[in-house]
Amino acid sequence: MRRILLIVLIVMGFGVAQAQEFRCSVQVNYQKLLTTTQAYESANDKKVFDAMKQAIEDFVNGRRWTNVDFQQVEQLDCSISLVLNTRSSATDFAGQLQLQLRRPVYNSTYTTGLFNYMESGNFTFSYNESQPLDFDLGNFYGNLSSTLGYYCYIMLGIYFDSYALNGGEPFYQLAQQVQQAAEGSGYVGWSSSEGQKSRYWFMENHTNGAYTDLHEAYYNYHRLGLDMMTKDQTAARQAIINSLRNLQQVNKVRSNLTSVQQFVDVKVQELISIFTPAPAAERKQVYALVKSVSPINAVKMKDFENAK
């Protein structure tokens, strides 16, 4: 744990060591393409999807995203699933993108979800197996590499927020640079005019100074909550309740933020597990807080409302 906190401090102070940060598994599901009459589909062409999977894994796992030397046990455990829906040419695809990120809990074998996010619209991109996935912060080379780079920085931000208060700030700023470089590309998902689930707004939720409680929520829930469960369960549960109050404060500034809903979506089952054996007063409190920020998730906790 001290090592992770030291990493946060080094990142914020621009350390010099470099190594890979992610341990990411990738799935590319192309079954829908094989059951359609779209052009460019044949049994001999399946190798392109294997190449795509490998290219994404190499891009995420083989690139240095920070200037910190990670040990193997400190690598970010994540997964990326790409379900391809259409293929309009030999190199042009559209599909659904989902990303998941998990974090170990201190002094236990338990891992907790940090990020589980599926993009709302069709993710369109070009992929040519003979060309590398080029990427840098100041340029847009392609929608696949920019989108992957954007989410890598978002996941790094959330991960480090869970270990140190505002520890993820440098990475959200890097995600913002990726978004700004991609906004004029013409691809859907980067603009502020495309609704609250666009990449612009998810990034904005984490860089807007009005939503500082969002960062405190990650810290209170994980570092002061889950990580302290083996030391003092009562205090740890109170820290988790405080994290829900943080989300409530964000919701008062602006309701229905995607980042807040994502937080509760990931945590609702875990909250049920943690607080089911807790005193009734705590269960009622958790239910009321969840209901205030995410009524759809509060339905899953209905038994908490009238706890005795």
- The answer to whether position 52 is within a domain reads yes
Write down the residue that tokens 């899953």 correspond to: 300
- Name the region of 132 (left: φ>0; alpha: ψ -120 to 50; beta: rest): beta
pLDDT at residue number 242: 98
- The answer to whether position 27 is within a domain reads yes
What gap in Å lies between CA 79 and CA 22, rounded to an integer? 10
Give the pLDDT of the chain (308 residues) as one tens digit per residue: 555 555 554 444 434 344 589 999 999 999 888 776 555 555 557 889 999 999 999 999 999 999 888 788 788 999 999 999 998 888 999 999 999 999 999 999 999 999 999 987 789 999 999 999 999 998 999 999 999 999 999 999 999 999 999 999 999 999 999 999 999 999 999 998 887 888 999 999 999 999 999 999 999 999 999 999 999 999 999 999 999 999 999 999 999 999 999 999 999 999 999 999 999 999 999 999 999 999 999 999 999 988 87
Write down the residue that tokens 């929520």 correspond to: 217
pLDDT at residue number 70: 79
Q: Are 134 and 141 in contact (CB under 8 A)?
A: yes
pLDDT at residue number 32: 87
The secondary structure of the chain, three-state, reads CHHHHHHHHHHHCCCCCCCCCEEEEEEEECHHHHCCCCCCCCHHHCHHHHHHHHHHHHHHHHCCCCCCCCCHHHCEEEEEEEEEEEECCCCEEEEEEEEEEEEECCCCCCEEEEEEEECCCCEEEECCCCCCCCCECCECCCHHHHHHHHHHHHHHHHHHHCCCCCCCHHHHHHHHHHHHHHHHHCCCCCCHHHCCCCHHHHHHHHHCHHHHHHHHHHHHHHCCCHHHCCCCHHHHHHHHHHHHHHHHHHHHHCCCCHHHHHHHHHHHHHHHHHHCCCCHHHHHHHHHHHHHHCHHHHHHHHHHHCCC
- The answer to whether position 53 is within a domain reads yes
pLDDT at residue number 44: 54
What gap in Å lies between CA 12 and CA 8, rounded to an integer? 6
- The answer to whether position 97 is within a domain reads yes
Write down the residue that tokens 């995410």 correspond to: 294
Q: Would you state the structure tokens that stand for residue 294, as one six-digit string?
A: 């995410």
pLDDT at residue number 74: 81
- The answer to whether position 118 is within a domain reads yes
Count up the domains in the chain and report the number.
Answer: 1
Q: Would you state the structure tokens that stand for residue 194, as one six-digit string?
A: 């495309």
Q: Among candidates 147, 25, 36, 148, which has minimal Cα distance to 85?
A: 36
- The answer to whether position 80 is within a domain reads yes
- The answer to whether position 150 is within a domain reads yes
What gap in Å lies between CA 171 and CA 155, rounded to an integer? 8
What gap in Å lies between CA 243 and CA 215, rounded to an integer? 9
Q: Are strands 111-118 and 123-126 parallel, antiparallel or unpaired?
A: unpaired
What residues make up the domain containing 67? Answer: 1-207
Please tell me the pTM assigned to this model.
0.91
- The answer to whether position 58 is within a domain reads yes
